[in-house]
């Protein structure tokens, strides 16, 4: 089964497709701009986004909204993660956390799926922490500064572990399970 994936982020599509292949599914990237609502929850952003895109395309489609939520920064950058990454990057986040002891954080992913039956949203979360320096060169975005709880390596150092444990893995699996024929 092929479903459209509305995004300009090829990394997201590649990661989701590795997981979807395990369910005999794939996502086909489509570059379509949709308005991102201002909201604090990734589920709200993904749900509203996919509703908009479906109205344009009238074909089964997903939109993913994801972000990094840091406890000591009251969940910043959260749903503004893409914008903040462009402005200050991993280095800027490390500066904001300079001298901060509580380095707990989580990545969240929400995948909105829409077809003629309406919108469903699937969520995934991975808990971890922010190391004191950037480590690793794989992946994208904040991967060099995110270390999941069950590993000593960042996602950028260990993409195989990211594939097994990520927020995107969890949300994509829920979607694929819902769409797979029983
Ligand atoms: P959006 O979902 O397109 O709004 O973008 C979310 C932003 O959060 C991305 O541009 C990245 O900066 C960051 N992000 C989301 N998922 C990941 C991930 O798996 N690794 C690293 N950064 C991520």
Contact (CB, 8 A) for 162 and 124: no
pLDDT, one tens digit per residue, over 56-66 is 999 999 999 99
User: Is-catalytic flag, 102?
Assistant: no
pLDDT over 80 at 182, yes or no: no
pLDDT over 70 at 124, yes or no: yes
Q: Where are the domains of the chain?
A: 2-179
How many angstroms separate the CA atoms of 155 and 161, rounded? 7
pLDDT over 70 at 149, yes or no: yes
Residue 154 beta carbon below 6 angstroms from any ligand 1 atom: no
How many angstroms separate the CA atoms of 134 and 9, rounded? 22
How many angstroms separate the CA atoms of 1 and 180, rounded? 9
What distance in angstroms lies between residue 102's CA and the mean position of ligand 1's atoms?
22
Going by the DSSP 8-state scheme, the letter that residue 36 receives in this structure is P
Chain centroid to Cα 123, Å, comes to 9
Residue 81 beta carbon below 6 angstroms from any ligand 1 atom: yes
Going by the DSSP 8-state scheme, the letter that residue 65 receives in this structure is E
Tell me the helix, strand and coil percentages in the chain, rounded to 5: 40, 25, 35
Q: What is the mean pLDDT of residues 9-26?
A: 95
For the record, the structure tokens of 37 come out as 């609502």
Residue 82 beta carbon below 6 angstroms from any ligand 1 atom: yes
Ligand 1, atom 14, residue with closest C-alpha: 67
Nearest atom in ligand 1 to the alpha carbon of residue 65 is 2
Contact (CB, 8 A) for 46 and 171: no
Rounded mean pLDDT of the chain?
96
Residue 34 beta carbon below 6 angstroms from any ligand 1 atom: no
Among 75-84, 118-127, 172-181, whose mean pLDDT is lowest?
172-181
pTM: 0.96
Where would I find the H helices in the chain? 10-20, 42-57, 81-96, 159-165, 167-179
Cis peptide before 77 (omega within 30 of 0): yes
Using a pLDDT cut of 70, give the percent of the chain over it: 99
Selecting from 3.40.50.720, 3.90.950.10, 3.40.50.1980, 3.40.50.970, what CATH number does the domain 2-179 have? 3.90.950.10
């Amino acid at each position: 089964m092929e479903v459209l994936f509305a995004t300009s982020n090829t990394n997201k599509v590649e990661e989701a497709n590795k997981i979807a292949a395990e369910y005999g599914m794939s996502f086909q990237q489509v570059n379509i701009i949709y308005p991102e609502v201002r909201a604090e929850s990734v589920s709200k952003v993904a749900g509203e986004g996919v509703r908009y895109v479906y109205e344009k395309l009238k074909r089964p489609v997903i939109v993913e909204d994801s972000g990094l939520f840091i406890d000591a920064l009251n969940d910043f950058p959260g749903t503004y993660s893409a914008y903040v990454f462009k402005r200050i990057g991993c280095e800027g986040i490390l500066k904001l956390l300079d001298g901060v002891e509580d380095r707990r954080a989580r990545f969240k992913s929400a995948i909105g799926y829409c077809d003629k039956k309406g919108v469903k949203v699937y969520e995934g979360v991975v808990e971890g922490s922010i190391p004191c320096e950037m480590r690793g060169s794989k992946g994208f975005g904040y991967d060099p500064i995110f270390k999941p709880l069950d590993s000593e390596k960042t996602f950028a150092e260990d993409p195989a572990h990211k594939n097994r444990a990520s927020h995107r893995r969890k949300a994509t699996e829920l979607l694929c399970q819902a769409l797979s024929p029983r």
